[in-house]
Amino acid sequence: MGPGSAIHVFIFALLISISGKFAGAEISSEVGINYGRLGNDLPSPSKSVELIKSLKAKRVKIYDANPDILKSLRNTDIQVSIMVPNALIPNMSTSQHFSDQWVETNVVPYYPDVKIRYLLVGNEILTNPDTGTWFNLVPAMRRIKISLTRRNIRKIKVGTPSAINVLESSSPPSNGTFRSDVSGPVIKPMLQFLNRTKSFFFIDFYPFFAWSENAPNISLDYALSNAQNVFGFFIAETGWPNGGDFEQFGANTYNSATYNRNVVRKLTTIPAIGTPARPGVAIPAFIFSLYNENQKPGPGTERHFGLYYPNGTEVFEIDLSGKTPLSGYKKPLPLPTNNEPYKGKLWCVVAKEANRSAVKDALAWACSQGNKTCDEIQPGKECYKPVSLFRHASYAFSSYWAEFKKIGGVCSFNGLATTTFKDPSFGQCKLPSVTL
């Protein structure tokens, strides 16, 4: 047996140990909600807490330690997960004083009136190539735990959420293995820490992306109904998009409601269903997310995971307590119209209500990418007149996407762009398109 195999065996033994503690811990499988705030049109924290209560959520996870949100959660029965931002991890990993001060500022003023139960260090740190933070992660977790212990705060579990790509293999879930670049230097000491502190392995799990990338080989019904078959013991994020770009088939309200209701039904079943490897074990989870967030970067699905629209109206009915049976939801769901891949031409244009200043910057960036992206919107060219920021930007966005899609370019521009099947060309100006 080589050293790599020995590490895998050691990590597997630790996971079994952690799962055993998890099975015996006082943890319920009630489903919570992720409360992200990457939007410029979202309700206030106090209104948001009322919406969280209306979902009958018993847990909420936020992506910082926002004081207004924490104040709004005082004296509620909602368990709270707070987060140390990624940018603070290097300082926290090397300075106990820095860690102590963070806890003094962000935990002590609210605890125990706010039922903080989880303190997550960073968010999906191991997803992207290392920028010097990977090896600071576990030391930062250790320091924050020391800071809590010094203040006799013992009910808060320390962890960190990882994306599913932390696994090298995840099928079948019970045979999952961690990526070789992190398994020894990061995952091994992390699992030792989680085992010693009786904490949990947090993972973000999105079947939509796995299904959409391999739709010919994965049944949509299977993807929508098998939420519990995940390698991991605390689902920090899971959900299904209620909308997206035209090329993002399967992202619709019907599928989002179906998936999220199935998550709630399966994870709140009594007795607990567990996983194939650990039947009967409660699996806590946070649904992503409370709102559609219009400033999230990336493709359109990133801005369409919410259970609520920013105006506070529900995208679809859902009861996170699990007490409403599937037959108990009365409002009919709109039938899906995009469960098959879109075939035809698409253009990338400025989204409605996009910020003019941000669009101007995005236009300049698109034009700076070369390959004659913006030649046709120069003075004297076919697409110069009428002189309009949004028309010029739509041309530049479409031209950029048509030129660079084949090497990974996307129609996003930090949420300023959207795809359309309606040809936005005008007069003699023909906007480049992408054909799917």
What is the pLDDT at residue 265? 92
What is the pLDDT at residue 167? 86
- Reported confidence tier of residue 414, pLDDT bands at 50, 70, 90: confident
Q: Establish how many alpha carbons lie within 13 A of residue 323's alpha carbon, considering only the half-sphere containing its beta carbon.
A: 5
**Residues of the chain with pLDDT > 90: what percent?**
75
Tally of CB atoms within 10 A around 146 = 14
Determine the Cα–Cα distance for residues 86 and 133; give it in Å rounded to an integer: 8
Any idea what DSSP says for residue 336? Answer: P
**334: alpha, beta or left, given left = phi > 0 and alpha = psi -120 to 50?**
beta
What is the pLDDT at residue 172? 58
Determine the Cα–Cα distance for residues 252 and 258; give it in Å rounded to an integer: 10
What is the pLDDT at residue 415? 85
What is the pLDDT at residue 18? 52
Q: Which residue's entry shows tokens 């770009």?
A: 245
Instruction: Characterize the bridge pairing of strands 434-435 and 345-350.
Output: antiparallel
Catalytic residues: 124, 237
56-102 pLDDT, tens digit per residue, is 999 999 999 999 999 999 999 999 999 999 999 999 999 999 999 99
Which of helix, strand or coil describes residue 178? Answer: strand
Determine the Cα–Cα distance for residues 279 and 4; give it in Å rounded to an integer: 29
239-290 pLDDT, tens digit per residue, is 999 999 989 999 999 999 999 999 999 889 888 776 666 677 778 899 999 9
What is the pLDDT at residue 298? 85
What is the pLDDT at residue 103? 98
Q: What integer best gives the mean pLDDT of the chain? A: 90
314-341 pLDDT, tens digit per residue, is 999 999 999 999 999 999 999 999 999 9
What's the average model confidence in pLDDT over 358-377?
Answer: 95
Name the nearest CA neighbour of 60 among 87, 30, 90.
30
Any idea what DSSP says for residue 121? Answer: E
Which of helix, strand or coil describes residue 83? Answer: strand
